[in-house]
Structure 1
């Protein structure tokens, strides 16, 4: 079982604008849709499409509970989300136009999570998670949700002996590194923040991280990624595609990466699926859709360099 943990879930309101989005101009809306939001929930969606057993954990607001439940049902997300009374699950407004220059996102902060619901999550982990499971904590922290609470979740997962992945940023990412989790996926800027007090070269710093963390992925957006596992380090160049909406692409990468790890695939296969699925996502107009067969069709367009003294192209 893979457990995804979304501490600050969201409902994505996808607004499609006619023409190109322009400041100081009346931009006409062509269509509005609602989609699944929150990094961990996105990962659950990917795992479900790969037919990997998973359960989404986290919190959900009472006020728009039915709307969120409907979205979860459509996406076939198996979940155990603890309801916060008197609260509303936040909305993320994603604006897409016809320019194919990517999306624009405006997001609410989210609701305050009670100590009682936090404890319910801790109790669930204590009772249900085993050493054979995997867990991924992904996304932002809710307002006033302390690092101590996040670390309590990580400590409980550590105690269980399961694989722990984290797609976090800022102080939360630093805490994950300090806890020596098994997987992280910072982007380039988040990684540079981790290395702020280190004088070594960026690539050398990534290698150092991999001495404490089994799988380190540094996302470079449309320029690909670095992937490190043990002594293996790869520079990955994605296929060249026509971008429509890049929102959720990183979450699809994480979901596909974990799905292939769960299947026992070799690292190069893991990288191909993660990169291909992420590229497929970017070609779609909504925030979650991707096509596995399309991703497999991208495999020959993905370039993987093995880095080291004898750097060479694998494909």
Structure 2
């Protein structure tokens, strides 16, 4: 079983503009749609497409719970949240301009989490997670959930002995490295922040891999670099038409972990993850991709061992 933990979930409100966003102008909408937000939730959706059993954990507000639950149900995501009463789950606004690739993302901070809420989450984890499981912690942390709480969460999972994957940033990422989790996915700039170097980012990747089993560095349209078991691999990304790049990295992580849980080879895990992420950016929302189409794109992906 894989558990995804989204500490600061969001509901994505997709705003489709007529034309392009212009200051000083009344920017009209063609339509509005909703999608599930939160990096862990995107990971859960990707795992579902690979047929891997998973459950989404984390926090949710009760005020707009029905809206969140409907989206989760539509996406087929199994969940068991700590409900925080009297609070709304935050919304993110994804602006999509007509005939322009990519997106503009605006996010709310999220509601405040109390020690009581945190305790309930820790209890769920204690009752659910087993040594043979995987746990993905992904996304930002909400107000009230500080680095000390994250450290306690990671230590709880380390004590259980499960596989710990973290798709975090900033101080949270540094804490994950300090604790020594099994998987991280920083970008090339975050690697430099973790271990400053003279510009050759392969050296800090190798240094990180001394503590962390899987270090995957995102390079955007140039693919990624993965360090594991003393070897470094460069992974290409298929060339596709970009529509909305929000969630592509989450799709990569979810697919990679799902493939890893199925005992696929490292090359298979990396190439399918790269292909699924490339397929995902061709859709309007932040989660959808087609696994069959992705497998066709997978033939274009190269996984090359670097000396």
| TM-score for the superposition, normalised by structure 1 | 0.95
Q: Give the CA RMSD over aligned residues.
A: 1.2
* Residue in 1 that maps onto 2:239: 240
The answer on whether the counterparts of 2:188 and 2:201 sit within 8 Å (CA) in structure 1 is no
Aligned partners of 1:151, 1:118: CA distance in 2, in Å?
12
Q: Which residue of 1 aligns with 2:87?
A: 87
* C-alpha distance in 2 between matches for 1:303 and 1:25: 45
Per-residue CA deviation, residues 207-239 of structure 1 (Å, 9 max, x unaligned), is 111111000011011111111111221111201
Aligned to 2:215: 216
Which segments of 5 or more consecutive residues in structure 2 lack a partner in the other structure? none
State the distance in 1 between where 2:213 and 2:281 align. 27
Secondary structure of the corresponding residue to residue 280 of structure 1 = helix
Give the conservation status (yes or no) of the 8 Å contact 1:84–1:114: no
- Equivalence for 1:109: 109
User: In structure 1, what is the Cα distance between the partners aligned to 2:299 and 2:65?
Assistant: 43
Q: Which residue pairs with 1:133 in the alignment? A: 133
1:176-191 to structure 2, matched below 5 A, reads 176-191=176-191
- TM-aligned CA deviation for residue 201 of structure 1: 2.6
Runs (4 or more) in structure 1 with deviation over 3 Å come to: none
Q: 1:10 touches 1:92 (CA, 8 Å); kept in 2?
A: yes
Q: Distance in 2 between matches of 1:299 and 1:65?
A: 37
- Post-superposition Cα deviations, 1:152-204, rounded to whole Å, max 9, x if no partner, equal 111111000000000000000000000110000011222221123x4573111
SS at match of 1:79: coil
CA distance in 2, matches of 1:221, 1:179: 27
Please state if 1:298 is matched with 2:297. yes
- The 5 A counterparts of 1:50-89 are 50-89=50-89
Secondary structure of 1:63's counterpart equals: coil
CA distance in 2, matches of 1:143, 1:190: 22
Alignment-derived partner of residue 46 in structure 1 = 46
Tell me the equivalent position of 1:156.
156
Q: For residue 292 of structure 1, report the CA deviation from its aligned partner.
A: 0.6
Deviations 1:71-95 (A, max 9, x none): 1111111111011111110000001
Query: Per-residue deviation at 1:28?
Result: 1.7
**How far, CA to CA, are the matches of 1:105 and 1:55 in structure 2?**
26
TM-score w.r.t. the length of structure 2 is 0.97
SS at match of 1:92: strand
Range 198-207 or range 168-177, more displaced? 198-207
SS at match of 2:287: coil
Aligned match of 2:98:
98
**What is the rounded CA distance, in whole Å, between the counterparts of 2:303 and 2:49 in structure 1?**
25
Hey, what's the Cα distance between the residues in 1 that align with 2:43 and 2:85? 26
SS in 2 for 1:301: coil
